[in-house]
Amino acid sequence: MRIPSVSLHCTSHAHPPASIANPLGLSYLPSNESSAWDMYLQQIDRVSPFLGDLSRWVDTLRRPKRVLVVDVPIHLDNGRIAHFEGFRVQHNTSRGPGKGGVRVDPRLLSEGELERVTRRYTSEIGVIIGPHKDIPAPDVNTNDRVMAWMMDTYSVNQGTTSTGVVTGKPIALGGSLGRREATGRGVFVVAVEAAKKLGLEIANACVAIQGFGNVGSVAADLFEQAHAHIVAVQDHTGTVYNPDGLNVKTLIAYVAVNGGVFGFKEAQSMDKDAFWDVPCDILVPAALETQITSLNAQRIQARLVVEGANGPTTPQADDILAQRNILVVPDVIANAGGVTVSYFEWVQDFSSFFWNEDEINARLTQTMQAAFASIWQVAQDKRVSLRTAAFIVGCTRILQARALRGLCP
């Protein structure tokens, strides 16, 4: 097996470097639009005028606190030694430990090779992670098994079991009930809250979803349970459409067997680009970054966009959607369900007292509803978008902590 030189990438309160490619190839970024990191910097520029006296600290948000780059050598199954490049970026820890996900394409590795990469990478970054410093978590193409390897490797190196060093672990190793579904559930919760503001009934609403992994499929199932109609789903294999609504549970079962939505017989196949023309009330981009651009924002027919992915909308597209009076619930709030339950998992690990799934879901719903209400109010008071409001809230909290702590030495 030929193993290309791929990078294993972790982020902690930071956007990925611009050099990371789009492995699913779901859309193309126009040359005049921004990378994920540039998008973040543009948001900082937009929020700076609202920070008052804290604006003197704003440059701390434009620079990562720490970037660690490591060599990750492993033995491949064929006997060769391959070298991978590993990163851990800690953007800001003014308010406490960093939190972030591991990224590698497992399709390029056998299970044994993936385990060796994970363990060696964990050993290399072990000097800067820890339950009180920086807590990795699963992201695209990672799962609870990978987190178990990370937790075990860190624990072996420390000489004591440290379940709190990662979240998203298997339940048997201190993972939290409801963690796998948390991001998709959070997307659904904030979609309901945003729909109320628009006077949009979730029951009988038409929903289009890009991405059908843990986030998209869970959100789709919850929308269907609320009697919404999932009219289109797109993933890396194709796009399926049924104006009368897809049977989500049947589609989930089909994807589990076939690896994607392509070929699903209870819907018509659709060209990838035509997904953006689907008539719908709610659009959920839950795949990868920079999917909604100036090339397709004019075509979107939804009243509400709820970002299940990280950075799926470019600033240029944001402005177009705002001009068209399409409400966008930004990623920083819409997909925060996963990190919220990761926090619950971290707390449970320290106390060795675990909540049942109903308690987890109730706490998650309450947290997401309160966060959305807070951001909505800021948006109304400042007359800004929900994205700018979310950045006002988040940046203010971080910079207040930075200002109060001061500089040492």
Dmax (CA) of the chain: 65
Which residue has 């807070």 as its token pair? 374
Question: Which phi and psi (to 5°) does residue 184 adopt?
Answer: -65, -35
Query: Which candidate, 277, 286, 220, 279, places its Cα nearest to that of 250?
Result: 220
DSSP letter, residue 329: E
Q: Hey, what are 48's tokens?
A: 């700076």
Exposure string (b/e) for 198-208, b if CB count within 10 Å is 16 or more?
eebebeebbbb
C-beta separation of 190 from 331 below 8 A? no
Distance in angstroms (rounded) separating the CA atoms of residues 378 and 358: 30
Query: Residue 403 and residue 405: Cα distance in Å, rounded?
Result: 5
Using alpha carbons, select from 236, 290, 227, 288 the residue that is nearest to residue 259: 236
d(CA 232, CA 302): 12
Q: Per the residue annotation, which of 65, 99, 265, 382 is the catalytic one?
A: 99
Q: Is 99 a catalytic residue?
A: yes
Helix (H) or strand (E) holding 103, with range, is strand 98-103
Q: Compute how many other C-beta atoms are within 10 angstroms of the C-beta atom of residue 324.
A: 13
Alpha-carbon distances, residue 154 vs 75, 83, 100, 163, 198 (angstroms): 20, 21, 16, 9, 47
108, HSE (Cβ side, Cα atoms, 13 Å) = 15
Residue type, position 86, single letter: G
* SS3 (DSSP) at 226: coil
Question: What SS3 class is residue 399?
Answer: helix
Distance CA 31, CA 68 (A): 29
Distance CA(307)–CA(286), nearest Å, equals 6
Q: From its phi and psi, is residue 158 left (phi > 0), alpha (psi between -120 and 50) or beta?
A: alpha
| Nearest in space to 51 (alpha carbons), one of 391, 407, 406 | 391
The C-alpha atoms of residue 123 and residue 72 are separated, in whole angstroms, by 9
The residues that are catalytic are 99
